[in-house]
Structure 1
Amino acid sequence: MPYIEWRGNKCRVKWWAGEYLENGKKKYESKSGFDDEETAYNYGLDREYEVRHGTRVVKSRGDILMSTYGLEIWLPHQGLRPESVKRYRSILRAQINQQWGRRRVNEIETPEYIAWKNALHQKVERKEMARTYASDILTVFGMLMIDAVQRYELRTVSPIPPATPRRGRYVKKVRKRKRPLAMGPVYQLAVNAYTVWGFTGWTYIWDAAFQGMRPSEMYGLQKIYTAPAWPASDPDPEQREESRERYAKTPATRVQFQHQRVDGNQTLTDPKYDSHRTLVQAPFLTAMHTALAASHASPWSFPAINGGNLLGASFGRDYWWPIRDGAPAREGRWDTARPAIPPVEEFSVGGWPIYRLRHWMKECLEEEGHSDTAIETRMGHEIAGVRGLYGNLTLKMEQNIVEAQQARWDRFLPGGGRPLDAPVSHSSPS
């Protein structure tokens, strides 16, 4: 039975740990800090129950610092992608280890966790921390504690209490309000991109708006995976033959990689969520890619201004921000001078990232009435449940997308629009 003793104004409980010392005497463990004997006694009974039923965690197993557990034991075993590893490591170092790093894994109690969680929510309310970042912190901590119990047996239970019905004042999640977007502002972005980056920029904006690739996927896009070269240029024989049969009359881009830094090195990795996919192209976009591929010798579809790759460039500062927010005229040599660039208010107001073009493509596809299977596959998403299990992207679905996107382009710029090599800035209809 547990043994209770008082130390000052706090109560301590001792219980048999189920082990024996070298001299044959029982080995006891203890915990102090209780305010009353009943709570301490019940705690001891619970520990003895674990001993009797073989669920006890040896105290020395959980006697490891959180800073060591998170970074050296837990994170390397997660099998995450490089970007996720980078994000989790940042959260562990900047937030979790700052709060819990010097504590033992088996020491953290539920009241302490609740106080910390409330403190994070208060930071969100004071706008000292983004709501999504606070949520990510708590998510990572939750995974740490679940694995500490179930995978590594460093604790008997998690300090995170089970979910309960919501209490207190309801706080609606704040979503950034998207301004209505039509072809006019996208056209102006493309014109601005032409001023900043030449024909590569002009094509880049339209590609982002109609293909909907993630930025890292566009950074890693190579000519051999883009029409007109693809699929004949695909280095995988099986994929090449399969794609030739399906896309013989429908030009397309193959999303095969994303370009990102892994341990500081530029690396081509699988797309996010392994979302390898083929994106059919409308004729106007295929014409742009054909002209673009012939205009430079780089293996990248979208080389940087200096001829290198986009991952090594400061894309926000040198490309997107002047394209979105505008910039004053710049004098200098022929290769550095440029006219003034007007801001595009639909993007500059609110500081929208280029990701907004990817979302706009989805909005357009939904307006045009395409199926969820066609839309989510093009976005690189999976549909959960039975709908996703039985759904299948057909060639007819892809052809419908091509026809709708070409029609959208033709309605905005009748007759094919401006010459591909010389888009000119002017006020345009929306």
Structure 2
Amino acid sequence: MRLHSHDDFTTLREVIVGSAANYLGHDRDLSFELFHHETLTGFRSAWAYPRLAQADADTRRENWAIKERYAEELHEDVEALAATLAGLGVTVHRPLALPPDAARIAGLGWEAAPTPALNVRDNTLILGGEIIETPPAIRSRYLETRLLAPVFRAYFEAGARWTTMPRPTLTDMSFDLSYARDTATTLGGPTEAIDGPQPSPYDVGLEMMLDGAQVLRLGRDLVVNVAQSNHEQGVHWLERHLGDRYRVHRVWRMADNHIDSMVLALRPGVFLARHDGIRDLMPESFRSWRYIVPPEPDLGSFPVYDDYEDLVLTSPYIDLNVLSLDENTVLVNEQCTGLIKTLEAEHFTVVPVRHRHRRLFGGGFHCFTLDTCREGGLEDYLS
């Protein structure tokens, strides 16, 4: 058991696949609304979702239940993903399952219902032989990496480094609201701003927050999406921690948070990109690479949800969130036929896997997995 992962495309040997067990609902509070602001307001009717201001005035949060059928079908699909990877010869590790009666978690001045460790790419960054737990931006996910602790400990005992970035306090005043307030940045046009952060005796000012899924790993080069001050502080810490071992490149507001439904590297010199304009947003040194742009998503390939009951958390582009097994083989949602045909035309081998409710649970195959061992080394793909 060896931690060794420098990229997202060389041959995959070991991976953590998340768990969807007992994913019962979402705690909608300021942290949740801010993180999902672009999707909640940009891709659906503004009247469809009551905003946080209309939630409980005392707690300033609302628990949004997920229909049992959707939760069960998600669990089926995630377990099938794990079985598919194991069947392809990849060693699969799993987090602890969140119990159905999990107690609420609490910080200084807030509490939230915990979520299972499903999108394991988000709160951890693997760089070579080091595990870096990243500072979460959603309160309900504050302790999520504790469900991964047994796997991390096993890698640590086998020689891996294990680091945790400074944990934010996550009071209302910890968050930079500029992205949500700058309506020009949102894909859906003018949106309702998130207002009313409340002062707390625990305030320390804006804090670092950075998800692993904001980082595109390309050997010695790391491309990091930065949309506001919380991210910038996280990248600054990362640069100081890594020293001259890596080159860190910032991209400005390619997305609100995660980069892996905007652009992913399929092999050296080749990106999968949401649209042609991605090239111009990338660091100049990567603009000469080939950018594969699939057809626009077919909305008919997604389940139809109830505007008043089902909280959609991702854009229709979520199926670009693919997982590469090697430089020629890619796991793709079986329902995304346009992307499958595009990749096959580019001479990739596609492994179709079912994932029905990707828009309800905020992730695709890249989000659901954390590759811990790939054959590639700390290569300089720009030399």
Greater gyration radius: 1
- Superposition TM-score, scaled by structure 2 size: 0.27
- Superposition TM-score, scaled by structure 1 size: 0.25
More relative contact order, 1 or 2 (CA 8 Å, 6+ apart): 2
